[in-house]
Amino acid sequence: MLAKIFISIVRLFPDLKKAMWKWWYQRLAHRGHDTGWTFMNYGYTPLNGTSQIELKKEDESNRLFIQLYHYAATQIPIRRKHTLEIGSGRGGGASFLARYHNPSHMTGLDYSTKAVKLSINLHKEVPNLQFVQGDAESLPFDDKSFDAVINVESSHCYGDMAAFVKEASRVLKPGGYLSWVDLRGEEMVSNTESAFNIPELNCIYEETITPQVLQALDNIHERKIEMIDLHVPKFLQPAFRDYSGVRNSKIYNAFKDGSAVYLAKGYQKIPT
């Protein structure tokens, strides 16, 4: 029921979308203190025997979530690059990128103050990583500040997708790169394409990765159900199941029947 209310409100009143998601993510960050779960994405499983990244023992339990970040990061160069993740959530993805992909410095930005505080606490041992609070549609950085920007499964929460794309382009240095992955309802794809269609950005790759995400959702189903049952109050459990994409949730079924897709795109800012 709560999930239906969210969907109805954001469709009828787009200006409230960001405020509603901020409230929701603040709740998720609060629950994160109890669970220690540092990832919030749907995951990615390589298909057809594609080789998987080698992970340290302490990261193995988060493999499926990490593989989505690894996929996004390998589409653009970030090694020894000043890199920004917009929408860093609990910080697990930014921590992985900082430790495995070796940017010169990694900044994670999130709209939720609680999520930022949690991320700082959970990942304080990573030396080339920092977290800041900020708005994806009005980034608190100077023009041409970063060599690379990554955005993983966050933009569906934004009130103005076009504003986010313009801001990501603004803070990129000429020749810098943007890697983006997220879900979209079938009817929203054309608007997303229009948001990315700005003169400063040149598309260097695009792919639909719905099958890889669905496989990950299947693989992680039992763990998500266990976490929700253990750590989420009963009255919120239905909403958390819908949000997390467990089997037979609305988003899972939408991926299955094609009414939702999971997209990946990469861009380079045109050198000036």
Kindly report, residue by residue over 46-95, the tens digit of the pLDDT.
987 666 799 999 999 999 999 999 999 999 999 999 999 999 999 999 99
Structural domain count of the chain: 1
The pLDDT-based confidence of 10 (bands split at 50, 70, 90) is very low
Confirm whether 85 is domain-assigned: yes
Q: Closest Cα to residue 228, out of 237, 239, 219, 220? A: 237
Collect all residues with Cβ–Cβ distance below 8 Å to 80 and sequence separation of at least 6.
102, 103, 104
What is the pLDDT, as a whole number, of residue 14? 45
Most distant pair of Cα atoms in the chain: their distance:
55
Whether residue 7 has pLDDT greater than 50 = no
Kindly report, residue by residue over 219-251, the tens digit of the pLDDT.
999 888 887 788 778 887 888 788 788 999 999
Confirm whether 61 is domain-assigned: yes
Range of the domain at 72: 17-217+260-269
- CA 265 vs. chain centroid, Å, equals 13
Cα separations in angstroms, 196 against 64, 129, 152, 233? 27, 28, 15, 39
Mean pLDDT of 168-193: 97
What is the pLDDT, as a whole number, of residue 132? 98
Confirm whether 50 is domain-assigned: yes
* Domain at 196, CATH number: 3.40.50.150
Look at strands 201-208 and 260-269 and give their pairing: antiparallel
Confirm whether 74 is domain-assigned: yes
Confirm whether 251 is domain-assigned: no
Confirm whether 176 is domain-assigned: yes
Confirm whether 11 is domain-assigned: no
What is the pLDDT, as a whole number, of residue 241? 84
124 backbone dihedrals φ, ψ, rounded to 5°: -65, -15
Q: State the average pLDDT for the chain.
A: 87
Kindly report, residue by residue over 196-214, the tens digit of the pLDDT.
999 999 999 999 999 999 9
Confirm whether 202 is domain-assigned: yes
The pLDDT-based confidence of 36 (bands split at 50, 70, 90) is low
Residue type, 256: K
The pLDDT-based confidence of 252 (bands split at 50, 70, 90) is very high
